[in-house]
Amino acid sequence: MRCEKYWKKALDQTHLSIKKHSLFPLKTKVVTGDFYNKNDFIIRKLDTSRFKKNNIYGPKQNPFNPWDKVLEIDKIGANHQLILNKYPVQEGHILLITNTWKPQNGWLDIHDWSAIQRVNNDTSGLWFFNSSPIAGASQPHRHFQLLRRTYGEIICPREKWFLDLELDNNNNSKLKKNIIVSKFSLSGNSSDIYNKYLELSKKIGLGDPLNSEKPKYPHNILITNDWIAIIKRKYDHIKGFSVNGLGFAGYLLITDNSNIKYLQKYGPVKLLENFV
């Protein structure tokens, strides 16, 4: 049984951060039934009104160096810090950041995986990583995102698809050709997990740290207690949709600029194919 001390701190800090105007939860409305009649995607409409009023001009500051102390949850080892996401998609949306500069588009190292494990041993859920702006990353400073899940709760709407893909030898669709998935244990040995990441990265065509300064392609990584997936990316914005790792997990976000007629006609799977 996990203590979930990080989760409890995240909730306490969320309430404090909202009071101090340091946290701005995204306002969304579930509209899945308007576009789709299956349960492997959850489609939400985003209220963008607050963003239209807060245009910031000039050079963008790195929000993680230093990070906002009001959003601080806890220190994780010698190299990482746990903070709240300033624009959470759900309550207690957690970020794991490096406490000194490391590039988001670089190779992850064993310290990153050890930090993920340390947090996950206490507070578990769906981890996702967006390697660059093309993969949906909003910041160039290295960060991982965690959406906490309770024991037995479905990790994401597309979990069965990923588990089936791991057993599928006939990867003939565009989506399957650009996604690799493997079962593993996030509670296992850190070196084994790091080596699994390197193995999958090489298989999907990202290269390896010995021969490439950074991965050859933008990508997303989905991490759970039992499986890991890497998605090779080509585009970020298509037909008014922007998709990060959560989109491939089955969480789609639409705005007033989204081409909803395309989504209604072709469905979310066909939409995702455009991004890889």
Return the CATH number at 119. 3.30.428.70
Asked, for residue 230, whether it belongs to a domain, the answer is yes
What's the whole-number mean pLDDT along residues 60-73? 91
* 140 in a structural domain: yes
Structure tokens at 206: 């990202």
* Full-model pTM: 0.94
Which runs of consecutive H residues, i.e. helices, occur in the chain?
5-19, 32-35, 49-52, 110-120, 159-167, 174-177, 190-204, 245-249, 260-273
Q: Is the pLDDT of residue 58 over 60?
A: no
Please give the Cα distance from 138 to 44 (Å, whole number). Answer: 20
Confidence check: pLDDT of 185 > 80: yes
In a domain, 22, yes or no: yes
Q: How far is CA 49 from the centre of its chain?
A: 24
Report yes or no on 154 lying in a domain: yes
Residue 58 falls inside a structural domain: no
Residue 57 in domain: no
120-144 per-position pLDDT tens digit = 999 999 999 999 999 999 999 999 9
Asked whether residue 75 is assigned to any structural domain, the reply reads yes
User: Which residues have a catalytic role annotated?
Assistant: 143
Compute CA 224 distance to the chain's CA centroid, rounded to the nearest angstrom: 11
